[in-house]
Chains A and B, each alone.
Chain A
Amino acid sequence: MPERSPELDPLIHPLPRLSICALLAAGPRWVDFRSVREATGLSDSMISKHTRTLEDAGYLEVRKGGVGRRPRTWFRLTPLGGERYRGHVAQLQRLVDGTSDGSP
């Protein structure tokens, strides 16, 4: 059994969280809830669940506000979250390239 790579982040590794992180890392700093839902295809409850996990870990920041009368929620990656995400993607790339034996 190969040893778990320290660079693959277990918090980011589940696909829904990787999707959210990838979108937030690619988009301008604040991305609204609806955009996350449309891009990831996740349900509202799943988004809330996974963003809460990422927020609790300090990877993600949540801002609540309103546009007109409608309440809106925006997300962005924290510097820590961005760093961990980039490290995770770099490690995934190494695994695909065959330059690392790490396996989640």
Chain B
Amino acid sequence: MKPAQFSYIAPETVEEVLAALAEHGDEAKVLAGGQSLVPMMNFRLARPSVIVDIGRLAADESLDGISVDEGTLRIGARVRHRQLEHFPANGLGPADGPLGSLLRGLARWVGHLPIRVRGTFGGSIAHADPAAEWCIMAQTLGAEMVVRSSTRPMRIVAAEDFFETVFTTSLEPEELLTEVRLPVLGPDWRVGFCEFARRAGDFAVVAALTALRIEDGSIVEARVGAGGVAGTPVRLRAAEAALVGAIPTPAVFHEAGLAATGEVDPSGDIHGSAGYRRDLTGVMVRRALGAESIPTPV
């Protein structure tokens, strides 16, 4: 459990980071909070020959800030989980609302306190664990990833094009994820989340995130997503279809849960067989839909 040999560079500017990534290509790995990368290196499951540490960059609004701009929330890639957990209740001003609650509530589900203190939001997104809370949120709400490199213009990648499979994204080796953009959810949105893990702080066996826009007592827009059921977090379109146009009642949520169970095709591991995860997906979706607020773990 000692990492294989690597060299370490700690650039002082984003441009130097991009230059280093361009130079070393897929030999390089970006180190942010190190909460996934470092254990993987110790197990020698990851063996980058160059570590580009972005922890030494000077504070930078685009990397470190949380801000709202015309209906879009921007979260810098280097924002730590703990900052989101403790983001002030009106931190986004009028835009805070359901999205603010979701961010604060989900952050509490990320690992344990020491992990949340060190680990970063962008690091979690770029690591692309299919059961990670932030990845589920990005997929479900249709996040956009802001990606920079020294070799081509900045590009914006939709979540559905970003997550490819387990631990794999469409980021090119020379690219750096700098920011994630989320649509602000107005007061007519109602968000919910439910996660089952064997122990508090573990990655979810299955987790579901739901967001419903309700007008005149009816669901007019629905976003339902889940993690732990495929190589990436997934949108559950059949569950969404079961909700849109309906009045939000336990019976409707039950139907949406059944639809979710029917549309996922998970594989099993030692924490749960495929069938167990499939059944669990329906339960998580139904409970997320019925949740009054974002629950706290344990």
Q: Do A and B come from one complex?
A: no
Contact surface of A with B, Cβ cutoff 8 Å = none
